[in-house]
């Protein structure tokens, strides 16, 4: 196997990546010395043997996922890691790590629980008395149900790795560089127009990834076309957008990179592109979501629940009324799975109910945020969700690019801005998202 940093052969997995002895030693020395090197050639040097530019070699180390496991005296690091995906039990600490679940009796348990010898406590040792027919059938159904959940759990994990693994690790690198190593992402000179274009590109890609993820969820491909179209509801994508990014959108700074240029979409650009109220609300929302303390896999199961939420679109009124179509069944299945996983992770009932309460609170915030985004995403013209007049009742939508080019009369823009702003707070999304299913 090749070293992920330089052209040599890898000799093992060091600091979280397959590298050679040289790159391992180099990374260790860089951490020890704490010296920060700058590249004099634009940060794009090829990492060759021995003579490589230190700045670029270190950047490459970070980008392939090399991390110091424990920084002496830096408790912040551990806190940050654990706040992202706190995971007692179902530990999934990187975007690409996979935790398999298996069925024991009627329970779904992480495979690690078996190897660590806690099997007895989960399954109970033996069942000496013969079962009645009814009980056998009952247990069979229950175990089939568990098996299905395990399959779904693993499929969700697989979908996360495949669809989002790369993106998550890029963002994690961006965040680690800043928070752990105090390195600011080198940013090429750019303009607001470039950032807006990158943001659009990023969102187009994001739509694709969302539906790619949705398509990989067990059950999705078997839906009939009208049901499948409901997976693409615009508000679902919005919820997906924010939840998927929540670990990286902090109050003090954002750590996501966008577009083919991988621009750091930092607070500065956010403030140039949208209202500070929106950013503040977004960041507060993300902080609240992080405080729920869902693990990574729980987060994406939650997203699956959202994806399969039966629609409320007027076009699908008849579908919505029938309670037995597949979308409802799938929604139920994923909700069950989420509950199962939560139940098994939470230490006691109070932790479980706290998590559920927080989830409920999160849904009501989501509605509020949805109102805001209804205004801004069409403004940025990054996706074409529904015709704007359906959301804004015929009001003119201010386009940011128009504002940049001063194509519109500024006074008019301000007026419209204010009116849409007020309007978005008034949008009642309560019929769009039901919390009673969770």
Site residues for DNA per CB under 7 A: 8, 11-16, 20-26, 28-29, 32, 49-52, 54, 57, 68-70
**Tokens 């997203």 identify what position?**
303
**From the CB of 185, what's the least distance to DNA, in Å?**
22
Identify the burial level of 402 via C-beta atoms within 10 angstroms of its C-beta, where 0-12 means exposed, 13-18 middle and 19 or more buried.
middle
At residue 263, φ and ψ (nearest 5 deg) are -65, 140
Q: 121 with 109: CB under 8 angstroms?
A: no
Which residue, 10 or 109, has its beta carbon nearer to DNA?
10
Residue 378 to residues 6, 116, 259, 375, 389: CA-CA distances in angstroms? 44, 51, 19, 6, 10
CB count within 10 Å of CB 401 equals 15
Which residue, 9 or 111, has its beta carbon nearer to DNA?
9
**From the CB of 49, what's the least distance to DNA, in Å?**
5
**From the CB of 165, what's the least distance to DNA, in Å?**
19
**From the CB of 98, what's the least distance to DNA, in Å?**
16
**From the CB of 166, what's the least distance to DNA, in Å?**
21
Which residue, 8 or 320, has its beta carbon nearer to DNA?
8
CB count within 10 Å of CB 156 equals 24
**From the CB of 44, what's the least distance to DNA, in Å?**
18
| CA gap 27, 22 in Å, rounded | 9
Which residue, 21 or 275, has its beta carbon nearer to DNA?
21
Which residue, 7 or 124, has its beta carbon nearer to DNA?
7
Which residue, 61 or 369, has its beta carbon nearer to DNA?
61
Query: Could you tell me which residues come within 8 angstroms of residue 343 by beta carbon, excluding any fewer than 6 positions away?
Result: 352
**From the CB of 22, what's the least distance to DNA, in Å?**
3
3-class DSSP state for residue 232? Answer: coil
The packing angle between helices 75-84 and 165-179, to 10°, is: 150
Which residue, 16 or 43, has its beta carbon nearer to DNA?
16
Task: Name the residue among 278, 298, 304 with its Cα closest to residue 216.
Answer: 304
Q: 244 with 236: CB under 8 angstroms?
A: no
Which residue, 91 or 326, has its beta carbon nearer to DNA?
91
**From the CB of 394, what's the least distance to DNA, in Å?**
60
**From the CB of 111, what's the least distance to DNA, in Å?**
19
Tokens of 33: 């010395």
At residue 254, φ and ψ (nearest 5 deg) are -105, 150
Which residue, 28 or 408, has its beta carbon nearer to DNA?
28
Residue 195 to residues 48, 140, 372: CA-CA distances in angstroms? 32, 56, 21
Residue 30 to residues 27, 53, 181, 188: CA-CA distances in angstroms? 5, 13, 10, 24
């Amino acid at each position: 196997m090749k070293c992920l940093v330089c052209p040599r052969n890898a000799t093992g997995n060091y600091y979280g990546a397959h590298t050679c002895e040289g790159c391992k030693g180099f990374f260790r020395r860089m951490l020890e010395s704490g010296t920060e090197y700058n590249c004099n050639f634009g940060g794009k040097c090829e990492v060759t043997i021995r003579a490589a530019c230190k700045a670029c070699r270190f950047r490459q180390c970070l980008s392939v996922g090399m991390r110091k496991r424990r920084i002496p005296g830096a408790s912040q690091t551990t806190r940050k890691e654990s706040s992202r995906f706190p995971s007692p039990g179902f530990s999934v600490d990187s975007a690409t790590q996979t935790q398999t679940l298996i069925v024991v009796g009627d329970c779904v348990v992480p495979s690690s629980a078996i190897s660590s010898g806690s099997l007895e406590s989960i399954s109970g040792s033996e069942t000496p008395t013969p079962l009645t027919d009814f009980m056998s059938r009952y247990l069979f159904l229950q175990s089939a149900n568990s098996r299905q959940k395990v399959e779904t759990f693993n499929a969700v994990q697989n979908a996360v790795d495949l669809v989002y693994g790369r993106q998550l690790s890029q963002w994690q690198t961006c965040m680690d560089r800043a928070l752990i190593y105090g390195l600011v992402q080198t940013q090429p000179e750019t303009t607001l127009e470039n950032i807006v274009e990158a943001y659009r590109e990023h969102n187009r890609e994001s739509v694709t990834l969302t539906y790619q993820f949705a398509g990989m969820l067990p059950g999705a491909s078997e839906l009939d076309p009208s049901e499948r179209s409901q997976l693409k509801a615009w508000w679902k994508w919005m919820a997906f957008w924010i939840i998927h990014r929540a670990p990286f959108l902090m109050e003090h700074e954002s750590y996501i990179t966008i577009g083919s240029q991988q621009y750091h979409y930092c607070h500065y650009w956010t403030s140039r592109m949208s209202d500070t109220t929106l950013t503040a609300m977004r960041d507060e929302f993300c902080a609240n979501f992080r405080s729920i303390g869902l693990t990574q896999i729980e987060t994406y199961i939650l997203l699956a629940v959202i994806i399969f939420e039966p629609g409320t679109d007027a076009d699908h009124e008849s579908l919505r009324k029938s309670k037995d179509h597949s979308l409802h069944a799938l929604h139920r299945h994923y909700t069950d799975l989420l509950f199962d996983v939560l139940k098994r992770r939470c230490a006691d009932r109070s932790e479980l109910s706290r998590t559920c309460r927080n989830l409920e609170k999160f849904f009501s915030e989501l509605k509020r945020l949805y109102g805001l985004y209804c205004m801004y995403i069409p403004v940025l013209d990054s996706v074409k969700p529904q015709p704007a007049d359906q959301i804004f009742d015929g009001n003119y939508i201010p386009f940011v690019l128009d504002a940049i080019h001063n194509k519109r009369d500024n006074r008019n823009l301000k007026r419209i801005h204010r009116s849409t702003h007020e309007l978005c707070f008034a949008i009642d999304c309560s019929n769009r998202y039901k919390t009673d299913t969770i």
